[in-house]
Chains A and B, each alone.
Chain A
Amino acid sequence: MEMDRRDFLEKTGKYIVLFGAATKAWDFILAGTPEATPDYDVTRHWWAFYIDIEKCIGCGNCVRACKEENGVLREPFYFRTWVERYHIMPPDPADPKAERLPIVDSPNGGYDGFPERYRDGDGSKSFFVPKMCNHCTDSPCTQVCPVGATFDSPDGVVLVDKTYCLGCRYCVQACPYGCRYIDPRTQTVDKCTLCYHRITKGLTTACCEACPTGARLLGDLKNPKDPMHELLRTQKVQVLKPHLATGAKLVYRGLDGAVR
């Protein structure tokens, strides 16, 4: 076949362009139709959580919803989320130097609500603090796992690979927030997954869904339109144990200094 330089450049040029287009198209053919592929992209989310203590009424809906949604054992008393009641006495005027520790209770994690224990007029203050995994950016629990069974997902959720967990309990000890427990059914560690099966489908967590006062809010910090940004900008917020530098992504509004 006779071919001069002009023909050669023209033909190879065409083939290069067509080949490029074909490989690109092949990628899409392999990936299937957009409906068939899960459209959740882990790199485009960064989950965080916001709890407004001043809105929490201690009804226990979140505790019940979490156990229901995630199949957490009702007894013995293990929780992925629970509610604590703090009862703090002001300094005694007769002896203001004496330390008065807060009284904290959490009957069955708040599963059945809180029976009234305190009477009005003693000058105390009391409030509810819902607790759960802080989904730390630099989580101590993942750092101590010897086998890589617990990990920070690319979208900022601390998860457990139950098929890989040894049940060695290092992470249970490492978590400064007490958010992990050993599931007696599997003898592996269990914790809040931030309802990973829900948030990756565009739903909110079960506890947010069940919270009647809107005290709980799931936020995606990589989404510029997320209402969380506005709250973080306008409200005074704090994380638990900030001195531990865990990069906790569970932020509280109205957090009292007595809360540990």
Chain B
Amino acid sequence: MRDLFRDAEHLFRLATVFLVLLVVFLAARALLIPEGFGTYGHYRGGALQEARARELRFAGRDACLDCHEDIATTKMNAKHAGVGCEACHGPLQAHVAEPSTVVPEKHDANALCLVCHAENLAKPRGFPQINPKEHAGEDHCITCHDPHAPLPLKE
């Protein structure tokens, strides 16, 4: 047995160096690679959950139906049926969460209508566009139009 290891000291030293390197490598790996890395692929699996954690700002049009069924009915068969509530009223998840305390602010209807309906050459043909001065002078849009059912005109 003794003969076997004679003159093999340098091999042991080398083996020790390799062993230390291995331990350092494994320790560094355990320390540096974050938890969940590689669960789904070459990234931290927890990042998926983090991306989902963000708070909502827009509630979605279905949330409005629970309380505002009357307006939904008006809108349903009118020109603006496809327009989501929050397209004009803005993000209202806060209002959905606490309907009594968070009251959505009133908008300037004229400005809102013109966001979409102001004349612009690049808009698709067939989309109703107006020059506000020519179309209504100084009148407000809502004098004649109901924003939820813009046509036919108000009585």
Contacts and interface: CB of A to CB of B under 8 A. Distances in A.
Given A118-B121, A161-B47, A148 B42 contact: yes
A164 interface: yes
A25 interface: no
Nearest to B83: A212
Nearest to A126: B122
Contact of B47 (A128, A159, A197, A201): A159
Contact of B61 (A118, A151, A154, A209): A209
B53 A197 contact: yes
Interface string A28-71: 00000000000010100000000000111111110001001110
B7 to A, nearest CB: 46
A160 B42 CA distance: 12
Contacts of B54: 70, 196-197
B58 A114 contact: no
B98 interface: no
Contacts of A201: 52, 56
Contact of B58 (A69, A120, A151, A196): A69
A68 B40 contact: no
A149 B115 contact: no
A197 B51 contact: yes
Contact of A151 (B42, B86, B120, B121): B42
Contact of B52 (A87, A149, A200, A211): A200
A214 interface: yes
B52 A116 contact: no
Interface string B120-149: 111110010000000000000000000000
Nearest to B90: A68
Contact of B60 (A113, A160, A163, A203): A203
A211 B122 contact: no
A42 B87 contact: no
A43 to B, nearest CB: 10
Interface string B58-84: 101100000000000000000000111
A219 to B, nearest CB: 16
B52 A213 contact: no
A113 to B, nearest CB: 6
Shortest 3 CB-CB contacts between residues of A and residues of B: A151-B43, A161-B47, A197-B54
Interface of A: 40, 42, 54-61, 65, 68-70, 85-87, 113-114, 116, 118-120, 126-128, 148-154, 159-164, 193, 196-198, 200-201, 203-204, 206, 209-214
Interface of B: 34, 37, 40-44, 47-48, 50-58, 60-61, 82-84, 86-88, 90-91, 115-116, 118-124, 127
